[in-house]
Amino acid sequence: MTEFDITRVEVTGDPLDRRVQFHLTGPALDEFSRLAILGGERRLVLLVDGRAVGIGRFDRVLEGDSLQFYVEVPEEGLPVFAAQLERTLVGLRELVRKNP
């Protein structure tokens, strides 16, 4: 999976259970579904800029069409974190579209 398999990033959950949610393309979702079956209780680490910022278990991160992670960011910083990731993804898609 690459950054091009993520279609949207947002903060989800209630105030006591906030997570960052990554919506995926169909093929990426299929791949993670297969990995979840094989991975069982193994851990899945979220890396951003080479830094581990979140963790989840394969059998718990899949939710509908998305992956959800608890992220090591202060609660008030989650919306900013998600918005920055979203802007980066949009910028990358735009760059590739302009320079195929």
In the chain, domain spans: 3-98
**Distance between CA atoms of residues 87 and 29, nearest Å:** 21
pLDDT of residue 57: 76
pLDDT digits (tens, 9 = 90+) for 3-16: 889 999 999 888 88
pLDDT digits (tens, 9 = 90+) for 38-93: 777 788 888 888 899 998 777 667 777 888 888 988 888 999 999 999 999 999 98
Report yes or no: 55 and 46 within 8 Å, Cβ to Cβ: yes
Q: Give the residue with greater pLDDT, 40 vs 19.
A: 19
Helix, strand, coil shares of the chain as percentages rounded to 5? 45, 35, 20
pLDDT of residue 35: 81
CATH class of 3-98: alpha beta
